[in-house]
Structure formats: structure tokens, C-alpha cells
Structure 1
């Protein structure tokens, strides 16, 4: 019986270590885990653009989840505007910004709910080891409106499944 519990504890610890390494950027590269899948273009989608002119010291990424809501990976959002990524409206979208040189200096994960047909710009700043993300909705007349976001932490909900904490 003790062997059974020990084995499952090791599986849980190993799963947590893999999830943390993915979330902390230890796997490297623009894609970590499963790529974000854009929804089909429709009036029910919104567009998300990385407003940073170039990759500063960090990377802005969109998180992807499997059908059970477990973290599946992240995809870097290329800087410099451009066409951006389509995101589903009416559903929470999670973005992360992290700065890592040899070790990670900071990380922040923010969530917001896009509105259908809207265009959003995401900007990031790192000052003194503190990361921030700012989401702005670009209105049709060109004006910008800051979008409230919610800071989210990722927690293991069960072995093999990391989800945003409520």
C-alpha cells in the first residue's frame, strides 16, 4: 500500500516539475507545449496584437489549454503589431509575460475576456524585476481604452493537470 502512494506522489511531483519548467520558460523557444489554435475568423472573434516594437528582454505569450481546461502550452505573440492572433470572444484569454536571461527575472499571467470584433494591443514592461502587462482595446475611431485584467496564478488541480487558479 505504501508503494502505491509513493509511486503516485512521485508522478504528481514529476508532473508539477514539468509544468513549472514549461511555465517558467525553461523549455526555451517561441512555442512550448501545444501551440495556440486560433479560432476561425468570424464576427465572434477578436484580434490580439503584441504592441511592443521588438522583443525587449521578455516574451508575451498566449496560453493554450486542452478540452479539460488543463494547461497545454504557450505560443509567443510576435512583436511589432502585424495581423495579430484571433481569439474567441466571451471566453477568458490568458496571457503571460516573462523576462529571463540566465534565470527568470519576473513573470506575470493576466486574464481578460475579449469582446467580439474588437482589436486589442498588449504591451509589456519590466522594471526592477517586476513584470506588468497592459491590454488596450483599439476603438474604430483610433482611440485607446485600457482593458481591466485579472492576475492569475497557475495551480495543479490534480496530477497531470495545471489550471488557472480561481
Structure 2
């Protein structure tokens, strides 16, 4: 459980991750950077048990789900992101050269881990990939509504984004 949360000044656009409203926040007690996600439409949200399962998943390429629960406003998923920013945020700094390639490979390994666990991500994009200047992490584990995404779509989206990032 986390303490009081203060919202950051940056609201991530609803269009960036279809069906989800997301906010950057900070844990007032520990100072951890957090990403709060709530479904825009309760009917399209994942089951709370599926979201809670995401909190059990651990991989260095995945943002850690620190809370997944239903409160008076509906389902809320909170991920720990530290100082990282989304790739679609102008303040985000990427590693360069071999370091970037290694981080992208680590994200592919994170997707393979999800797939071995019977999960798929469903939204690999600049909006769900975060970076702190050295390390890439994938956010959004647990946001997918059941049965809507295929592992092959995750790999295709990762490949498209990887090609784009390595060309820059």
C-alpha cells in the first residue's frame, strides 16, 4: 500500500493509451515516481483479479505494479516508474548506441516473460514505454482487458517502435 499521492503537473493524454486515463504522481511518503491508471470506461476494464495478477509479475523491464484495486471510483492501477518519463514526453532522454539496443532487447525479454505467464500487453507504444536516461521500462501491465491482445501484436508493436528508435 502506498501513502498519500500528489498529482504531477503532467496529464498523459487519454488517446495515448486507448481506454485509460493516466497521471504522473509522486508518493508523498517515499518520493517514488508513480503512474496512476484508471479505465475511461468501466465496462471495458480488465477484471480486478487480472489487474491484481499483474502486481505479482516481476521483470526488470516492467514497471512494478504497486497497487491494483477497486475503490469508490472504480479500478485503479498504480505502477512505480521512478524518475522515468514516457517516450512521447519531450523531457524523456534515451540511452544511445549499444546501450539503447540492450534496453530494447530487455523489453523484448519482458514481453516474452509476460507471454510465458499467459499474459499479453496489448499497447506497446511510445506512451507505455518509459525511460529515465539509462533504463527503459514498459508500463501498462494489467491494463489490457481480457482476450483483446495477442502476443504476436506485442512483438509487432515492439519491432515497429524498435526500428523507429534505432533509426533516430
TM category (shorter chain) comes to: under 0.3
Counting helix residues as a fraction of each chain, which structure ranks higher?
2
**Structure with the largest fraction of strand:** 1
The structure with the larger Rg is 1
